[in-house]
Every structure is written in structure tokens, then in C-alpha cells.
Amino acid sequence: MAKNRLIAILPGDGIGPEVTEQAVRVIECINAKHDTGFEIKTEPVGGTAYDIHGTPLPDSTLELAKSADAILLGAVGGPKWEAIERQHRPERALLGLRSELQLFSNLRPAILFPELASASTLKREVVSGLDIMIVRELTGGIYFGGPRGIEGEPGDRKGFNTLVYTESEVQRIAHSAFQVAMQRGKRLCSVDKANVLEVSELWREVVTAVGNSYPEVELSHMYVDNACMQLVRAPKQFDVIVTGNMFGDILSDAASMLTGSIGMLPSASLDSNGKGMYEPVHGSAPDIAGQGIANPLATILSVAMMFRSTFHEAALAGIIESAVQSALAAGLRTADIVSDGETAVSTQEMGDAVIDRIG
Ligand code: NAD
């Protein structure tokens, strides 16, 4: 029985349209084979939208994003728009979407398919089969706290920011992280700096209290400096990590780089109802845009995340992830993940390979 579920597609700039095209083909293939009835509508965003409408986030795009059940975004930005006024820069569209849609929970998996273990700078046995999820609070903490600024006379100025979290902000990100842990290995590590910061003391207390509602999840706490060390020493010890905005910014970049392949990593930003914006971690890659060689797998894996997190379709998500794994196991590689002596396939050919395996 088909259900109507609206997915907003915002292809964006550079390789964004190239990789989202393949992800849309995957959704259409799932619709055809599983009668899932996902509806797709597309609007421009970023520099492409600026060229048409004079703004990177036109009303029509924001309205579609608000009315949709989930959003798939390609990437925004590029040299063409670097000189325009700050408020019209493509990246502003991302901030606008996050704040308008209250997307406070950022999920960044670091997954390393065993077939690509040689892409990492770490030893194969340390990272092969890595599968961790970092849940980062995205709309609070030091990036948004006040007061902030630079004050005083030249030579005697001070710069200051405020790291602040309310109990309700910590509660909602903690619930989000526990729910993610419930869908995975049921282990959650909360990362803070409670030995130095009062805000972290509160964070730890609130996360522990929320944990009482999830007795099946094993909760641990770790200081952020130790977490950095553990991530590069033995990253496979983690299942889900939850942390604040700034610590999450740093840890999620470190974790994603463990995998060595930016073209492979999806991400999600969720609101409190599970609605989400899904996008590859990478940017618009202007250096390879228009050549048909970008890796579409991060965007295709973002669709899998969407099916699991927003539509609660874990089986469909698994079908997509298995198809990706099977394409890699068959030796298909785009230029960014190809090894010496192997032949790279195009964006379209990688899309074809995944679709062929969705059966
Ligand atoms: P980038 O991620 O676009 O590219 C970094 C390198 O990785 C490049 O060499 C690129 O060719 C390669 N790469 C990235 N994605 C790839 C893929 N799918 N397949 C193959 N190779 C891939 O980062 P950048 O060069 O720092 O930024 C380029 C533009 O993207 C900038 O305008 C930046 O602001 C923007 N950006 C946007 C987002 C977003 O939309 N969420 C995120 C990061 C950067």
C-alpha cells in the first residue's frame, strides 16, 4: 500500500546536482520495486538559487522544505559566488534552513566499508569495518551563546563568547542520541569537559537523568580530550557519541577523516519530530564539477539515513546500504576512492551499479 511521503530535493551547486540525480534515481527505483510512494519535488538552493532569485534561500525553497517530510540537499557554494555580499552567500541557505526548521540534532556517521580500508591514514586493523555515529547538538552552545564580542581599546581589547546550555536543550539532544543508540548497538558515550566546566557538569547530570528512560542503553561519559585520543587510538570502541556543538564540530570532522573518503559519508540534521535534512558531508567540489566523476555514494547513503531516521524504514535503508556495499565489493570505484591500477567509473555508472543491486 503506497503512502504519500514528500521528499524535497535541493540539488544546490557544483557536484550537488550530479550526486542528487543519482540519489533520486535510487528513490525512484525503491518506489518502483517496493511500492513506497515517496513523492519528490525539487527547488534550487545556494548559488544556483541566487542566480535565479537573487537569494540563496528563496521563499519557494523554504516553503517546500517546511512542507516536506524530509529534505535531501546536495551541496552549496563555489568560487562564482565568493565575492557577493555575506548575506547572499550560498552557505547562508544552510544556516537559514537549520534555524527555520529547528534542526538541532546533527547525526554524522563515520563508516568505513572494509573494501575501502586502505583509504584511511590509520592502520587497516584499527579502522576496517568502523561504524560509529556522532550526535552533535547543532543550534546551541558556544556558537550561539551571548554575550559575545570584542571590546576595549586597541592594545587592550578582549574577545569573549559564552558557552551556555539549558536543561531543555540538553534533554532534547540526549533523547535524540538515546533513540539513535536504540536503533544501533545500544551504547552511548556522552562527551563533555565536566572536570573544568560547570555547563558540562549540568550536561552530564541531565544526560544521566534522561538515560533512566532508556534502561537498555549502556551510557558512559568521557572528557573531550580523552575522546579525541580514543578516536584515533581505538575508534571501534564507540557506538554512538553525543556531545555539544563545538566539541561535536571538532570530533565529527576527526571521525569522518578516519575513513579517508569524503565522498562516502552521509549526514542528517533532525528536529524534535524526526523530520530531517540529509546531505553528504562533502561540499560542492568545484574542482571536479561538471565532469561526471563525483562519487554519488555519500548522497545515496544519505537517502538510507533518511529512510531509517525520518520514515522508520530500516529495511529499505538496509537494502540501499547493502547495494552500496555490494557495488564496492564488486570493485566499482569512482576516482576519489580508486587505487593504483584500478579503473574509475563515472557518477552515472556508480548510480547504475547501486540501482542494479536494489532487488
Ligand atoms: P569539498 O568537500 O567540496 O571538496 C574537497 C575535496 O574533496 C575536493 O578535492 C573535491 O574534489 C573532493 N570531493 C568532495 N566531494 C567529492 C565527491 N563526492 N566525489 C569525489 N570527490 C569529492 O570542500 P571544499 O573544496 O573545501 O569546498 C568547496 C565548496 O563547497 C566551497 O564553496 C564550500 O563553502 C562548499 N561547502 C559546502 C558544504 C555544504 O554544502 N554542506 C560543505 C562543505 C563545503
* CATH for 346: 3.40.718.10
Question: Does residue 46 lie within any of the structural domains?
Answer: yes
The alpha carbon of residue 296 and the mean position of all alpha carbons in its chain are separated, in whole angstroms, by 15
Provide the residue-wise pLDDT of the chain in tens; the chain has 359 residues: 446 799 999 999 999 999 999 999 999 999 999 999 999 999 999 999 999 999 999 999 999 999 999 999 999 999 999 999 988 999 999 989 998 999 999 999 999 988 888 888 899 999 988 999 999 999 999 998 999 999 999 999 999 999 999 999 999 999 999 999 998 999 999 999 999 999 999 999 999 999 999 999 999 999 999 999 999 999 999 999 999 999 999 999 899 888 878 899 999 999 999 899 999 999 999 999 999 999 999 999 999 999 999 999 999 999 999 999 999 999 999 999 998 888 999 999 999 999 999 97
Looking at the structure of the chain, the number of domains it has is 2
Give residue 136's pLDDT.
97
Residue 271 lies in a domain: no
Residues classed as catalytic = 143, 193, 225, 249, 253
Domain of 251, in residue numbers: 121-259
Ligand 1: nearest atom to the Cα of 78: 32
Q: Which residues line ligand 1 (CB under 6 A)?
A: 15, 19, 75-78, 91, 94, 262-263, 279, 282-288, 294-295, 298, 336
Give the pLDDT confidence score for residue 1 in this predicted structure.
46
Q: What is the pLDDT of residue 168?
A: 97
Claim to verify: residue 179 and residue 78 sit in the same structural domain: no
Give nearest CA residue, ligand 1 atom 5. Answer: 285
User: For the whole model, what pTM was predicted?
Assistant: 0.91
To test the pocket of ligand 1, the residue of 21, 86, 92, 262 to mutate (highest count of ligand atoms within 8 Å of its CB) is 262
| Statement to judge: residues 223 and 297 lie in one domain | no
Q: Whose CA is nearest to atom 37 of ligand 1?
A: 283
Q: What residue's CA is closest to ligand 1, atom 30?
A: 283
Does any domain span residue 238?
yes
Verify that 253 and 291 share a domain, yes or no.
Answer: no
Query: Closest ligand 1 atom to the C-alpha of 76?
Result: 40
272 domain-assigned: no
Euclidean distance between CA atoms 240 and 283, whole angstroms: 24
* Same-domain pairing of 93 and 144: no
Together in a domain, 55 and 149 = no
Kindly state whether residues 252 and 291 are assigned to the same domain: no
Q: Of 237, 351, 251, which Cα lies nearest the Cα of 297?
A: 351
Residues 214 and 299 occupy one common structural domain:
no
Query: Looking at the domain assignment, is residue 265 inside a domain?
Result: no
Task: Classify residue 273: in a domain, yes or no.
Answer: no
Does residue 308 share a domain with residue 248? no
Position 281 in a domain = no
Q: Which residues contact 135 (CB under 8 A, 6 or more apart)?
A: 105, 106, 107, 173, 176, 177, 180, 240, 241, 242, 243, 248
* 244 and 302 housed in the same domain: no
Q: Which of 259, 276, 300 is the last residue before a domain boundary? A: 259
Domain boundary among 195, 224, 259: 259
> Residues 100, 139: one domain?
no
Name the residue of 106, 284, 297 whose CB sits within 8 Å of the most ligand 1 atoms, as the mutation to test its pocket.
284
Burial class, 6, CB count within 10 angstroms (exposed 0-12 / middle 13-18 / buried 19+) = middle
**99 and 176 assigned to the same domain:** no
Cell 548497538 belongs to 185
Determine which residue's CA is closest to atom 42 belonging to ligand 1: 283
In a domain, 270, yes or no: no
Query: Are 105 and 137 a contacting pair, CB within 8 Å?
Result: yes
142 and 212 inside one domain: yes
